Amino acid sequence: MTSSAAVVTLDHVSKRYGPAGTPPAVSDLSLTIPAGEIVVLVGPSGCGKTTTMKMINRLIEPTTGRITIDGEDVMRLPAVELRRRIGYVIQQVGLFPHLTVAENVAVVPRLLRWPETRVRDRVEELLDLVRLDPATYRDRYPSALSGGERQRVGVARALAADPPLMLMDEPFGAVDPILRDRLQNEFLRLQAQVRKTIVFVTHDVDEAIKMADRIAILQRGGILAQYDTPDAILAEPASEFVSRFVGADRGLKRLSLGRVRDLALTSPTTARVGEARADVRRRLDEAGAEYALLLDESDKPIGWIERRDLSGDDGVTPDDATPGSPTLQPESTLRDALSAMLGSSVQLGVVVDEAERVLGVVSVDAISEVLRAPAATVR
């Protein structure tokens, strides 16, 4: 557990709060959480998400089964030492009100008796990482922070001792949707840098789909309903419960996982300003197409020209084109792409690079193809 990311395994883990015979909160759960991935535990309220997470750092002890971190049985490690090596963000953030932001972040390093200079440097580094200006925030108390700032301090505090594993219980639960979206994006950016193993609890399917490398869907009683990538779960829900849980719009949700760059682009019939109309007509005939994409000298798209507007023998002018075909970037989600295309007359999306040069076009058909395809073609 000294590397930068840990593998966590749960092996037939059960937890029963009451005496034998009462229904368990977690039932025979087996999971492998790969190093460096975000695994999201999701499910309806009371399904055992928090219980599962707390068994990993031993705030709750399993009734039966085994949990290992990098092969070490957690029950064999002293609880206190184990926890100091696991970052923990609790649902209500739980910043210590009598300590400043810097002191809150420094809690675990001080428990580990780091030298003061190292603690100070680490605090600065972490506040920068979560985008809180150290000079402004270091000496503030939690009561003087907004909800979003507190969440960030909570994340910085959990990251303080550079743990290979982070447990996060609804870390963005207490903020408004817009701020939540921003914190999610920031966290994903952060994770791309730090590459921890992260167990993330939420009851929000959309958050799970957005954050997860893998999703574990739990059902009441802590029964594992499905454990797979978001795309696989959306494409092929393993049960009635899962498909109801992820929602009737799972096709659209799947589209938000895919990117335009994952689609095979087709090359449109193109035309240049000043080119003879007859030439363009001939190329459209050869391609069996109805529309040609008009480009300027630097390959930027101007708009689409319909075949029936190409009578005569003059040169093509920019006025011939109907502007308004949406341009898409390779990074656009398929959901955004589809939405833009449905709003345009041609129902084709023009994909451009950073210099706005045309890379190719995508059709609504290409996108619906993706939806019919089995999992793993997206992403």
Partner 1 sequence: MDFLAQVLAWFTDPANWTGNNAIPLRLWQHLSLSVVSLAVGVAIALPIGLYIGHTGRGARFAVAVSNIGRAVPSLGWLGIAYPISTGLFQRAGIGFLPAFIGLVALAIPPIVTNTYAGLRAVDDELREAARGMGMHELQLLMRVEVPVALTVILAGIRVSAVAVVATAPLAALVGGGTLGAYILQGLALSDEVRVFAAAVMVALLAILTELAFAWLQRRAVSPGLAAAGDASWVEPPQLPAGPAIVPS
Ligand X SMILES: Nc1ncnc2c1ncn2[C@@H]1O[C@H](COP(=O)(O)OP(=O)(O)OP(=O)(O)O)[C@@H](O)[C@H]1O
Give residues in contact with partner 1 (CB under 8 A). 57, 59, 80-85, 88, 90-100, 107-108, 111, 141-144, 157, 167
What is residue 363's three-state secondary structure?
strand
Q: Which is nearer to Mg ion, 92 or 146 (CB)?
A: 92
User: Strands, E, within 188-311: which ranges?
Assistant: 197-202, 214-219, 223-228, 270-272, 291-295, 301-306
84 binds, among Mg ion, ligand X, partner 1, none (CB under 5 to 8 A by kind): partner 1
Give me the amino acid identity at 249: D
Q: Which is nearer to ligand X, 65 or 315 (CB)?
A: 65
- With the CA atoms of 149, 153, 155 and 158 taken in that order, what torsion angle do they form, in degrees rounded to the nearest 10? -170
Tell me which stretch binds Mg ion (CB under 5 A): 50-58, 303-311, 328-336, 342-350: 50-58
Report which DSSP code applies to 93: B
Cβ-based neighbours of 314, under 8 Å, separated by 6 or more: 276, 277
Query: Does residue 219 bind Mg ion (CB under 5 A)?
Result: no
143 binds, among ligand X, Mg ion, partner 1, none (CB under 5 to 8 A by kind): partner 1
Give me the amino acid identity at 316: V
Query: Does residue 52 bind Mg ion (CB under 5 A)?
Result: no
47 binds, among ligand X, partner 1, Mg ion, none (CB under 5 to 8 A by kind): ligand X
User: Crossing angle for the helix pair 177-194 and 147-159, nearest 10 degrees?
Assistant: 20
Within 10 angstroms of residue 348's Cβ, the number of other Cβ atoms is: 21
Least distance (Å) between residue 28 CB and partner 1: 25
Cβ-based neighbours of 177, under 8 Å, separated by 6 or more: none
81 binds, among ligand X, Mg ion, partner 1, none (CB under 5 to 8 A by kind): partner 1
User: Crossing angle for the helix pair 147-159 and 116-129, nearest 10 degrees?
Assistant: 130
Looking at 27, 50, 191, 325, which residue binds Mg ion (CB under 5 A)?
50
25 binds, among ligand X, partner 1, Mg ion, none (CB under 5 to 8 A by kind): ligand X
Cβ-based neighbours of 156, under 8 Å, separated by 6 or more: 105, 126, 127, 129, 130, 132
Q: Which is nearer to ligand X, 53 or 361 (CB)?
A: 53
Give buried/exposed letters for 94-132 (b at 16+ CB in 10 A, else e).
ebeeeebbbbbbbbbbeeeebeeeebbebbeebbebbeb
Q: Which is nearer to Mg ion, 50 or 68 (CB)?
A: 50
Q: Which is nearer to partner 1, 108 or 351 (CB)?
A: 108
Least distance (Å) between residue 173 CB and Mg ion: 9
**Binding interface with ligand X (CB under 6 A):** 17, 25, 45-51, 203
Least distance (Å) between residue 238 CB and Mg ion: 23
Least distance (Å) between residue 324 CB and partner 1: 52
Least distance (Å) between residue 43 CB and partner 1: 21
Residues 183, 22: contact at Cβ < 8 Å?
A: no
Least distance (Å) between residue 138 CB and partner 1: 13
Binding site for Mg ion (CB under 5 A): 50
